[in-house]
Amino acid sequence: MTKRVALLYGLMCLVLIAIGFLQSWNVAFGIFNLCVISAVMALGVNMQWGYAGLFNVGVMGFTALGGLTAVLVSMPPVGEAWAAAGGDIALSLLSLAGTIVAVIYARRIVPPVLKLPVTLVLLLAGYFLIGVFFGPATDAIESIDPALSGYLGGAGLPVLVAWPLAGLVAAGAGWLIGRIALGLRADYLAIATLGISEIIIAIIKYEEWLSRGVKNVTGIPRPVPYEVNLVESEWFINLANFFGASEISDAASLFVKLCYAVLFVIVLAIIMWFAERALKSPWGRMMRAIRDNRDAAAAMGKDVKRRHLQTFVLGCAVCGIAGAMLTTLDGQLTPTSYIPLRYTFLIWVMVILGGSGNNWGSILGGFIIWFLWVEAEPFGNWFMSTVTAPLGEESELAQHLVAGAAYMRYLMMGAILLTVMRFAPKGLIPEATNRSTAMTRSS
Amino acid sequence: MSFLSATGMTGGYGGSDILHDCTITVEKGEIAVVVGPNGAGKSTAMKAVFGMLNLREGSVVLDGKDITNLAPQERVPEGMGFVPQNRNVFVSMTVEENLDMGAFIRKDDKIEETKQQIFDLFPILGEKRNQPAGELSGGQRQQVAVGRALMTQPKLLMLDEPTAGVSPIVMDELFDKIVEVARTGVAILMVEQNARQALEIADHGFVLVQGRNRFTDTGEALLANEEVRRSFLGG
Amino acid sequence: MEILNALALFANFVVVPATAYGAQLALGALGVTLIFGILRFANFAHGELMSFGTMITILVTWFLQNMGVSIAPFPTALLALPIGVLAAISMALVTDRMVFRFYRKQRSNPIVFAIVSVGVMFLIAGIIRIVIGPADQSFADGQRFIIGAFDSRRALGLDEGIAIKQSQVITVVVTAIVVAWLFWFLQKTRSGKAMRAYSDDEDLALLSGINPERVVTICWVIAAALAAIAGTLYGLDKTYKPFIFLQILLPIFAATILGGIGQPVGAILGAFIVAFSEVTVTYAFKKFLAYLGPTDWAPEGLVQLLSTDYKFAVSFIILVAVLLIRPTGIIRGKVI
């Protein structure tokens, strides 16, 4: 078993090293960093699916929330915007709080028959009240230097602070959605998470005062040195010379990638350590017991819904952290880049391929799938060009097919997912305990 | 050889055997009842006859044809009708549609005739023919279930605890109907909790204990048997 | 008069578009609910199946247009639709044979089915993007309006007209025909009853001699045909956007759950409720209220409950409300 793990990890390393020698080390570490982030996301999903059998189709939303947190924590605050609309924003928040309190209070005192109508009326009234302050506030904020800011900015804290915070924010969203959808049909959770993720993306896309929307937030402060500074600092030039680097700018960008790699690997290691500890603790055993036989566990007095909620929230938190890491690495938040196939379903392929319920498998799955996802494009181009070569350069069909070659990756991911589910449902690194019953249990 | 002879049945759901060399036979137009304490394998024995259980040993022969290796749905065309204990009607469909579903495999043109016979046997079904079966009372549902099974014109009708959860009056009524069905020449095999009442209408009774035949005799004789009465009929 | 103007305005911007949209959702939700009822899983590939059928319809439409075939004033796409339907059916049956049947034999957990459907979604999405590309495609031809805003204004003698697009009328008519046929099929035919019986209780259906594979095949054929029709009508009414078909799953699923899982009538009801809520909530009532109020009176803002950007949030809120208040849906469906 451990031999198999070592072998598979070793192979993955070899492939990345080969990329380093054949293409460049910059490319290799570029892929490696995203592999690590993918692995963290896969760990999060594995907690939900592998530990508890929960089908979360909203990974994208929690990742994006993490990204938003990174922006809100690290970007410098826009003073003008706060000055122009701070009061209105505060009043909006006050009205929001007032509405919530009013609803809770009203629900306590009115007779049960009136509960629903009174709640709806109060919510509607509150909604308009908030709108009174909120509308002008957003207009004011968005009109301030729209080409450069037009939003409130962030807290101006170091971006690393955002990583744990992103976990908390995503956990909060996960808690809300879990409270509603857990304990019902299993596929309700899937559909509800699909919905929440679309809404989170919509908020990030359209609430310009908050996130600049489709205008993107760029230039998020880095936790690592900037290339421009590196190439001018003496110690780095000496270091580069020591390693015999031919091009100082290449060396600088490689150095930055290495710094990120170290940070990411530390986060991955911490999360992995907790994940493994949790899995092997009595709590983890109980989770698996619930997953494998929910009714029996419930009959033994386990609060299944509560346990599910715990795992779900933890998994969402991990996805949020990964999202913040990703935005930090990119240095920008681009809401339009969040599409479910890439940020939700791809992560699922990673978990399934790696081995549901096995954390080592999830990490490996994250690495392999991200690698294939990246390399599918050149491969697809090569494949399509080769296949269409007999048609000649002029052929419209050939040009059309080559243009669509990048989408070979969708086909590939579909094929991988279906093949693994069919022929090796336990994945590359199967869960250590007996899971055979879990995959075929009837509902 | 009897009309149905399930002989030497041994097997279970996996793991260990539940039935051990268990034998059940029924004749045409007769009622056979399987009784026994809880966990004696009564329902399991019936499921084995219907092919819902993998038998390691033993055979099931119906009307001279060996059907041991047929799947349950393949036994229906061979003349077996089965009324499960729970979930035995299509709750979202009307009474009449339930009966139509019973006749699903039939290709002849006498379906309406059979339906009329069932309405004669269970008049309440005729009255409620357009009502969803899910809205009926427990006893009425059982009638729908039996009616659905009869629509296939079975040669052997199997009932798994047909009187579970119905009132004593409804139980008596159901038993009367079952006797009526038997008189039309259908062989009836029934598993029952209400052992005494069931044995009263039974031609043959099988007392199972831990998956083995303990007593096998006519219903009358079993009722008269001191040991059976003491151990299984509550005195 | 002012009230009539307000009503005409409301009809033009809410009732007409919501009816067409509701009909398109209904066709999608019917397919999803049938698959839920018969195969018992949430089919995440359904949106892509719609997209695939539409894509084939578009390709055939282009071919016909090039050949000079036209059924003006009707859109050529109607002529191409049967091919799109056949293509969607073939795709559904092929994926069932190659993928889903295996898990049916294993009696796998519904979640396993759902995950597998994600794989199918990836495959179909890839095929679509390779064949037709990720860009928007417009393929509507023929007459655009049946009743123009100007004509209706004159006919009604009002300031506000009710414009009705041809695609909207086609949508409603086609949906009405298809739904009528579907209910006749489910209620009156032997196969339809067998489907309902199987959806009600699988084991009992087996005992009645109903062939499950046949039921499943019929289910896929109907669901795929509805999907292709729904996608094409949606594309005719708006434009064909490959990426929209993952997002449209949300209102479709919301409609399905709202109506009650496995309940065709519920799916239609749910679809129209979702569509009307979506359009009403994102409609700016400013002008509408201006007509109702005294002269020269108009509200300050747009009086729009929710920006159009958030129309998917409406389905989600409906979904959450259903899950909280009545998880079985309006017409009691399956809750496991």
**Helix, strand or coil, per DSSP, at residue A231:** coil
Tens of pLDDT, residue by residue over B61-81, are 999 999 999 888 888 888 999
Q: Are C136 and C238 spatial neighbours (Cβ–Cβ below 8 Å)?
A: no
The pLDDT value recorded for residue C298 is 65
Q: Cis bond leading into C264, ω under 30°?
A: no
Count CB atoms within 10 A of the CB of residue A141.
26
Q: Give the tokens for residue B37.
A: 């304490």
Q: Which two tokens stand for residue A363?
A: 């990490």
CATH at residue C39: 1.10.3470
Task: Report the 10 Å Cβ neighbour count for A441.
Answer: 17
Give yes or no: residues A111 and A201 share one domain: no
Cα A307 vs. chain centroid, distance in angstroms?
Answer: 23
Residue C26 CA neighbour count, 13 Å, CB half: 26
Determine the residue of chain B that is closest to C206 in CA distance.
B73
Q: Which of C115, C244, C334 to mutate to test the interface with A (most CBs of A within 10 A)?
A: C115
Note down the domain range covering A106. Answer: 78-152
pLDDT for res B49: 92
B97–C209 C-beta distance less than 8 A: no
> Any idea which residue has 């219907």 for tokens?
B50
- With a CB cutoff of 8 Å and minimum separation 6, the contacts of A284 are A51, A278
In a domain, C335, yes or no: no
- Structural domain includes residue A438: no
Task: Identify whether the C-beta of residue A342 lies closer than 8 Å to the C-beta of residue A334.
Answer: no
Residue B94: give the domain boundaries: 87-153
Domain count, chain C: 1
CA distance C210 to C194: 7
Residue C245: which residues within 8 A CB-CB, separation 6 or more?
A: C47, C48, C50, C51, C231
Same domain, A194 and A322: yes
> Where are the extended beta strands (E) located within A213-297?
217-218
Per-residue model confidence (pLDDT) at position C296: 66
Give the β-pairing of A217-218 and A332-333: antiparallel
- Which of C204, C210, C211, C334 should we substitute to test contact with B (largest number of B Cβ atoms within 10 Å)? C204
Ranges assigned E (strand) in chain C: 145-147, 164-165
Q: Where a domain ends, among A110, A125, A152?
A: A152
Q: Is residue C334 part of a domain?
A: no
Domain-embedded: residue C336: no
Query: Does the residue A441 lie in any domain?
Result: no
In this complex, the chains that touch C, judged by 3 or more CB pairs closer than 8 A, are: A, B
Contact A187 C110 (CB under 8 A): yes
Q: How far is CA C2 from CA C264, C285, C290, in A?
A: 40, 15, 9
- Concatenated DSSP letters of C6-43: HHHHHIIIIIHHHHHHHHHHHHHHHHHHHHHHHT-S--
Among chain C residues, the shortest Cα distance to A417 is held by C119
| CATH number for B69 | 3.40.50.300
Contact A211, A345 (CB under 8 A): no
Whether residue A435 lies inside any domain: the answer is no
Residue A409 and residue A347 share a domain: yes
Partner-chain contact C209 B73, CB within 8 Å: yes
Q: Do A340 and C307 touch (CB under 8 A)?
A: no
CA distance B152 to chain C (A): 8
Other Cβ atoms less than 10 A from the Cβ of B13: the count is: 12
| A404/C319 CB distance under 8 A | no
Judge: C194–B104 Cβ closer than 8 Å, yes or no: yes
The CATH number of the domain where A308 resides is what? Answer: 1.10.3470
How many angstroms separate the CA atoms of C250 and C44, rounded?
10
Using an 8 Å Cβ cutoff, are C152 and C161 in contact?
A: yes
Residues of chain B with Cβ-Cβ distance to C193 below 8 Å are: 93, 97, 100-101
Cα-Cα-Cα-Cα dihedral of C334, C336, A182, C32, to 10°? Answer: -40
Query: Between A206, A348, A401, which is nearest C115 by CB?
Result: A348
pLDDT in tens, C180-231: 999 999 999 999 999 999 999 988 998 888 889 999 999 999 999 999 999 9
Cβ-nearest to A442 among C107, C133, C319: C107
Highest mean pLDDT pick, A107-121, B201-215, C309-323: B201-215
A358 lies in a domain? yes
Asked if residue B121 and residue B65 are part of one domain, the reply reads no
Q: What is the largest CA-CA distance in chain B?
A: 51
* B160 shares a domain with B148: no
The pair of three-digit structure tokens given for residue C129, joined into one six-digit string: 């993007």
Query: In 3-state terms, what secondary structure has residue B178?
Result: helix
Partner-chain residue, chosen from A199, A409, A441, that has the shortest CB–CB distance to C316: A199
**Minimum distance, in Å, between the CA of residue A201 and any CA atom of chain C:** 10
What ranges in A55-78 are assigned the alpha helix state H? Answer: 59-74
Q: Which residues pair with B216 in a beta bridge?
A: B206
- State how far the Cα of A319 lies from the Cα of A197, in Å rounded to an integer: 12
Per-residue pLDDT at B160 exceeds 80? yes
A172 and A241 fall within a common domain: yes
Question: C interface mutation test: which of A187, A346, A401, A408 has the most C CBs within 10 A?
Answer: A187
Q: Which residue has the tokens 């999907």?
A: C227
- CB-CB contact of A362 with A347 (8 Å): no
Q: Are the C-beta atoms of A38 and A413 separated by less than 8 Å?
A: no
Taking an 8 Å cut-off on Cβ atoms, the answer to whether A181 and C323 are in contact is yes
Confidence label for C335 from pLDDT (cuts 50, 70 and 90):
low
What are the tens digits of pLDDT across the range C279-301? Answer: 998 888 878 888 877 766 666 66
Classify strands B4-12 and B54-62 as parallel, antiparallel or unpaired. Answer: antiparallel
Position A441 scores a pLDDT of 40
pLDDT at A148: 77
- Let me know if residue C330 belongs to a domain: no
Chains B and A touch (3+ CB pairs under 8 A): no
Residue C331 lies in a domain: no
Cβ atoms within 10 Å, residue A422: 14
Q: What is the pLDDT of residue A87?
A: 83
Q: pLDDT category, B143, cuts 50, 70, 90? A: very high
Return d(Cα C207, Cα B83) in angstroms, integer.
Answer: 9
Q: Mean pLDDT across the stretch C34-52?
A: 95
Residue B53: the pLDDT is 85
Residues B168 and B220 reside in one and the same domain? yes
* Low-confidence stretches of chain A (pLDDT beneath 50): 434-443
Please report which residue ranges of chain B form alpha helices under DSSP H: 42-50, 72-75, 95-102, 111-121, 123-127, 138-150, 168-183, 195-201, 219-224, 226-232
To the nearest 10 degrees (0 to 180), the angle between helices C249-259 and A186-206 is: 140
Residue C138 covered by a domain: yes
Q: Tokens in use for A143?
A: 């009109």
Give Dmax (Cα) for chain A: 80
Q: Above 50 in pLDDT, residue B114? A: yes
Give C88-101 as a DSSP string: HHHHHHHHIIIIIH
The mean predicted confidence, pLDDT, of chain B is 89
Tell me the chain B residues in contact with residue C199 when contact means C-beta distances shorter than 8 Å.
Answer: 92
**Residue corresponding to tokens 């799109």:** C84
C-beta separation of A173 from A196 below 8 A: yes
Degrees (nearest 5) of the Cα angle C264, C268, C272?
165
Q: Same structural domain for residues B224 and B182?
A: yes
Neighbour count for residue C171 (Cβ, 10 Å)? 25
A256 and A187, same domain (yes or no):
yes
Q: Which of residues 95-114 of B touch C (CB under 8 A)?
A: 97, 100-102, 104-105
Q: Do residues C116 and C99 touch, judged by C-beta distance below 8 A?
A: yes
The H or E element that residue B55 is part of is strand B54-62
Q: Which chains have at least 3 CB atom pairs separated by less than 8 Å from chain B?
A: C
The conformation of residue A51, written as its DSSP 8-state character, comes to I
Q: Are residues A115 and A13 in the same domain?
A: no
- The CA distance from C96 to the nearest CA of chain B, in Å, is 23
Q: Quick one: what percent of chain C has pLDDT higher than 70?
A: 96
Helix (H, G, I), strand (E, B) or coil at C294: coil
Instruction: Tell me, yes or no, whether A174 and A33 share the same domain.
Output: yes
Into how many domains does chain B fold?
2
Domain total for chain A? 2
- Return d(Cα C146, Cα C160) in angstroms, integer: 16
Note down the domain range covering C106: 2-325
Contact between C116 and A187 using a beta-carbon 8 Å cutoff: no
Q: Which domain-ending residue is among B117, B138, B153?
A: B153
Burial C107-121 (b: 16+ CB within 10 A, else e): ebbbbbbbbbbbbbb
Q: Contact, C280 vs C14, CB < 8 A? A: yes
Q: Do A119 and A181 have their domain in common?
A: no
* Domain identity same for A322 and A269: yes
Mark whether A121 and A181 lie in a shared domain: no
Q: How many Cα atoms sit within 13 Å of C332 on the Cβ side?
A: 4
Chain C interface mutation, best of B74, B92, B108, highest count of C Cβ atoms under 10 Å: B92
Write down the residue that tokens 């929690």 correspond to.
A62
Which one of B76, B91, B93 has the shortest CB-CB distance to C207?
A: B76
Q: Is the domain of B165 the same as that of B75? A: yes
Token output for A278: 């949790």
Q: How many CB pairs below 8 A link A and C?
A: 157
User: Hey, what are A158's tokens?
Assistant: 């170091």
Q: Inter-chain contact C109–A439, Cβ cutoff 8 Å?
A: yes
For an interface test with A, which of C44, C95, C122 has the most A Cβ atoms less than 10 Å from its Cβ? C122
Q: Burial, A442: exposed, middle or buried (Cβ in 10 Å; 0-12, 13-18, 19+)? A: exposed
- What is the average pLDDT across B27-48? 89
Q: What pLDDT sits at residue C290?
A: 80
Q: Residue C254: which of C322, C330, C335, C306 has the closest Cα?
A: C322
Residue among B163, B170, B191, B172 nearest B49 (CA): B191
pTM for the structure as a whole: 0.89
Q: pLDDT, tens digit, for every residue of C231-247? A: 999 999 989 999 889 88
Q: What pLDDT, on the 0 to 100 scale, is given for residue A442?
A: 36
Please give the Cα distance from B52 to B56 (Å, whole number): 13
pLDDT at C295: 66
Return the bridge partners of B5, or none. B25, B61
The answer on A373 and A236 residing in a single domain is yes
**Secondary element (H or E) of residue B22:** strand B19-26
Q: Provide the pLDDT for residue C297.
A: 66
Task: State the smallest CA–CA distance between residue C312 and chain A in angstroms.
Answer: 7
Statement to judge: residues A15 and A42 lie in one domain? yes
In this predicted structure, what is the pLDDT of residue A248?
A: 85
